[in-house]
Structure 1
Amino acid sequence: MTPREHREQVEASLLGPRACQAKDSRGRQRPEEECSIRTCFQRDIDRIVYSKSFRRLKHKTQVFLQPEGDHYRTRMTHTLEVNRIARTIARALSLNEDLTEAVALGHDLGHTPFGHAGERLLNSIMPGGFAHYQQSLRVVDRLEKEGEGLNLTWEVRNGIVCHTKGRQAATLEGQVVRLADQIAYINHDIEDALRGGIIYPMDIPLAISKILGFTHGERINALVEDVITASRDQDAICQSPEVGEAMAALREFMFESVYTNPLAKGEEGKAQEMLRRLFEHYQKNPDELPPDFQEIRLEEGVDRAVCDYIAGMTDPFAIEQFTKLFIPMAWTVK
């Protein structure tokens, strides 16, 4: 028996009846020989972690654009926090932690530079629109590995594309990630906003704090425990009405106080204008696109290639490219 076969046997005895077992995966878009050591979902985790797009997450904005300080979240740290919350919930519900982790680590691979500001800009100028969850699937299917894609399993791909809007994921593991994403970003954005002086502890409505708690840890614990309790013996991952309403109210508070706050978001217009000008430049000069995107240009058009290129940029790289193209360089007399 190989290590993979042993692990699949362990899953059969360890996981609950609602879990998605690796041996029952619908498989990959392109059939591959199974790994002798890792299950298919473990293999997907490794493919995501070793990908270029995953490494770039450390230099992509979560909420605050280029904050001064070392402790603000990036898209990378957000992804890691989602992963930890999701795995905790999955383990408590006897679901497949490997599948959950693969979805969590891959869910934001398609996110733009400058967070949702970049996403809104690309959505407004890209024919057919743009959504980061769709781009995340495109990254793993088409853009990674010089155009070959990562060839992930159907369950991981489904969880990635269903992690935020529209239909629910087909697996409970994918549904766990969707809620874990919300739990993570609302709470770590509160912590970052407090650190940045955007809000103060007393600003959070008392009615919400009485249900979810008064500290970061208390809120995370209350939300996670509620998902576990409410989802037992259910056909879907859910929250209790009281806690679900409190989290929705907390999210509304964050939109009013942080996500649209000029102090926190005042630079977004500049970032969007920068991306707009980059998009227009490469539309007019597609030969300047890197070689990786020339095949996309030929097969799917200039707009698609330009969108893929810009969506994959990190914040510093976008600024660097804009500077090279549009900011006059100092002239030195030799």
Structure 2
Amino acid sequence: MREDQERLERLTLADWATFADESRGRESDTPPCPRRTCFQRDRDRIVHCKAFRRLGHKTQVFISPEGDHYRDRLTHTLEVAQIARTIARSLRLNEDLTEAVALGHDLGHTPFGHVGERTLDSLCSEIGGFHHNRQSLRVVDCLERDGDGLNLTYEVRNGIVCHTGTAHAETPEGRIVHFADRIAYVNHDIDDAVRAGLIVPADLPREAVRVLGATHGDRIDTMVADMVRYGETEHDIGMSAEVHDAMMELRAYLFREVYAGQAQEEAHKVDGLLRTMHAYFTRHTDELPEFYKKHIERDGAERVACDYIAGMTDRFAVAKYTELFIPRSWNIK
């Protein structure tokens, strides 16, 4: 069955796609699956790992939002995967590889969104800092399966670590996820900010709205269609200058009006909570879970404490902080 699918890729995918039977392989040799291509297998390993399940209780933008319809890190991931798959399918690129990268791209994100990431980055400045894309790679390489990692293919790992920052993924499928990530969060963060009453649609930059559209659906459709046209013409991944500039104008607006504004009004509390716990677990390594203790000699107490905290969900972080630092009520019987 796997070989049939690999032959089908050769018949249906574009000649600049990444083919499963040409993968650079895994760090540890593993017999191939008889039913799934290597990229399908990677997608399944990501979906079934613990870090993926925790995304459902990690902040996207709004810290502890009251309401059932705000995005969390899991719904963001699913939106990125949907957008990325649509682009890959339209360009006849490898949809399985694209989906695996998209589903794994944020596995290393901290609790409390980018506030948590900034705090851990400052705490780890002397040991290389903290960046969620690198931590996502660390999760799949070193932390999942009790330290054995998921043993993913080179192409999926490269796409995960290169989904943000200045480095570009080596595969077109990985580069799709870089754009799909921005398309997703720019649009759903506008949606969530409007729902929260932080902005109104009329306040969005007029030129960006003229180019991309006035609604959530119109903007995504414009950007996806533009990427498809670009890919068909250039045989590469990108956007036209007009659409890209409009997207970045919206992104700048969000940073100015939402990310640095009211959506982060609890940020100082998050910063204090994470700093206090990192200092505590760096000094009290004996109170770390057994799995993390095994890596102290190899990675050092600061990095291991960072790994533990980065893997927490928002609610677990609050519960752990409460357990450690908030006095319990005294019940007299």
Superposition TM-score, scaled by structure 1 size: 0.98
Q: Is residue 62–residue 78 contact of structure 1 (8 Å, CA) maintained in 2?
A: yes
CA RMSD of the aligned region, Å?
Answer: 0.7
CA offsets 1:221-272 (integer angstroms, 9 cap, x no match): 00110111112242531100111111111111111111111x2110011011
State the shift of 1:104 in Å: 0.1
Instruction: Tell me the SS of whatever aligns to 2:234.
Output: coil
Alignment partner, residue 278 of structure 1: 277
Alignment partner, residue 190 of structure 1: 190
Alignment partners' CA distance in 2, 1:254 and 1:285? 39
Alignment partner, residue 131 of structure 2: 131
In the alignment, residue 324 of structure 1 is paired with which amino acid? E
Q: Is residue 109–residue 136 contact of structure 1 (8 Å, CA) maintained in 2?
A: yes
Alignment partner, residue 58 of structure 1: 56
Alignment partner, residue 296 of structure 2: 297
Alignment partner, residue 120 of structure 2: 122
- Mind listing any 5+ residue stretches in structure 2 that lack a counterpart? none
CA offsets 1:73-132 (integer angstroms, 9 cap, x no match): 000000000000000000001100000000000000000000000000000011321000
Alignment partner, residue 216 of structure 1: 216
Alignment partner, residue 8 of structure 1: 6
Alignment partners' CA distance in 1, 2:269 and 2:235? 45
- The reply on whether 1:76 has 2:70 as its aligned counterpart is no
Alignment partner, residue 247 of structure 2: 247
Q: Is residue 111–residue 312 contact of structure 1 (8 Å, CA) maintained in 2?
A: yes
CA offsets 1:260-310 (integer angstroms, 9 cap, x no match): 11x211001101110000000001100000011011112211111101000
Q: Which stretches of structure 1, 4 residues or more, deviate above 4 A after TM superposition?
A: none
Mapping of residues 136-285 of structure 1, within 5 Å: 136-261=136-261, 263-285=262-284
Tell me which of 106, 109, 112 is aligned to 1:111: 109
State the shift of 1:205 in Å: 1.6
Identity of aligned residues (%): 55
Q: Is residue 12–residue 21 contact of structure 1 (8 Å, CA) maintained in 2?
A: yes
In the alignment, residue 204 of structure 2 is paired with which amino acid? I
Q: Is residue 194–residue 201 contact of structure 1 (8 Å, CA) maintained in 2?
A: yes
- The reply on whether 1:89 has 2:90 as its aligned counterpart is no
Q: Is residue 4–residue 37 contact of structure 1 (8 Å, CA) maintained in 2?
A: yes
Alignment partners' CA distance in 2, 1:54 and 1:170? 24
In the alignment, residue 201 of structure 2 is paired with which amino acid? P
Tell me which of 42, 45, 48 is aligned to 1:47: 45
Number of residue equivalences: 331
Instruction: Tell me the SS of whatever aligns to 1:65.
Output: coil
Alignment partners' CA distance in 2, 1:59 and 1:298? 30
Superposition TM-score, scaled by structure 2 size: 0.98
Q: Is residue 230–residue 236 contact of structure 2 (8 Å, CA) maintained in 1?
A: no
Alignment partner, residue 332 of structure 2: 333
State the shift of 1:184 in Å: 0.1
